[in-house]
Chains A and B, each alone.
Chain A
Amino acid sequence: NAGVTQTPKFRILKIGQSMTLQCTQDMNHNYMYWYRQDPGMGLKLIYYSVGAGITDKGEVPNGYNVSRSTTEDFPLRLELAAPSQTSVYFCASTRASEQYFGPGTRLTVT
């Protein structure tokens, strides 16, 4: 049982490039989330999903897109990367209360 896995661990993007952050969970959780964590700050919700085929915006969705074609996978797409998207990105999942977090992806946009 690997829990929540994220790839890549680190990535440097140039302004205007695009990329997809991958997230997979093997706990059969319906709920999945994407957060960003800026230095010295809390976690801000970007997008969430309550099940395969259902996604919705969180607090800071601009510049991002998601899809949820399976229960296990919840990729986050960055289109036209901007320096403001430099952050650490965490994926999480839950069945009800406790959210299980992945190890994070550290993204730098220069």
Chain B
Amino acid sequence: QQQVKQSPQSLIVQKGGISIINCAYENTAFDYFPWYQQFPGKGPALLIAIRPDVSEKKEGRFTISFNKSAKQFSLHIMDSQPGDSATYFCAARVNNAGNMLTFGGGTRLMVKP
């Protein structure tokens, strides 16, 4: 059962453009929604995260938009750079004893110079 659906699977953006990655979830008990960035050969690293009591969070060029009623959230990368080329994962957590994350399938982003 895939509880977090991520799209697109891959994305090509020109340098300076906006990259947009979308995620949808089913479980209304999720209370924390992080985005992870993974470079080839490395482990994922936290990029930015949001809780459902806010609709938007911005950190530098990275913004999460959150729509609680639609059960959707998205990552926007403004002024995309070649160094942003990586795989991005959305995730969601139920605040239970395990603090476990459920991950989306990932989006491979390529930013062309």
Q: Do A and B bind each other?
A: yes
**In the complex the two chains form, what is the Cα distance from A57 to B61 in whole Å?**
37
Let me know if A97 and B32 touch, CB within 8 A.
Answer: yes
Q: Give the chain B neighbours of A4 by CB distance below 8 A.
A: 43
Let me know if A104 and B6 touch, CB within 8 A.
Answer: no
Question: Assuming A40-B106, A41-B105, is B98 touching A48 (CB within 8 A)?
Answer: yes
A26 within 8 A of B: no
List the one stretch of B14-22, B44-52, B63-71, B75-83 in contact with chain A.
Answer: B44-52
B54 within 8 A of A: no
Q: Could you tell me the distance in whole angstroms from the C-beta of A87 to the nearest C-beta in chain B?
A: 14
A2 within 8 A of B: no
Question: Assuming A98-B34, A98-B49, is B98 touching A42 (CB within 8 A)?
Answer: no
Majority SS at the chain A contact face = strand
Q: How many residues of A contact B (CB 8 A)?
A: 25
Question: Assuming A41-B105, A43-B89, A58-B100, is B34 touching A101 (CB within 8 A)?
Answer: no
Let me know if A31 and B99 touch, CB within 8 A.
Answer: yes
A74 within 8 A of B: no
B103 within 8 A of A: yes
28 A-B contacts (beta carbon < 8 Å): A4-B43, A31-B98, A31-B99, A33-B100, A40-B9, A41-B106, A42-B89, A42-B104, A42-B105, A42-B106, A43-B44, A43-B89, A43-B103, A44-B103, A45-B100, A48-B100, A90-B43, A92-B43, A97-B34, A97-B99, A98-B34, A99-B46, A99-B101, A100-B46, A101-B43, A103-B42, A103-B43, A104-B42
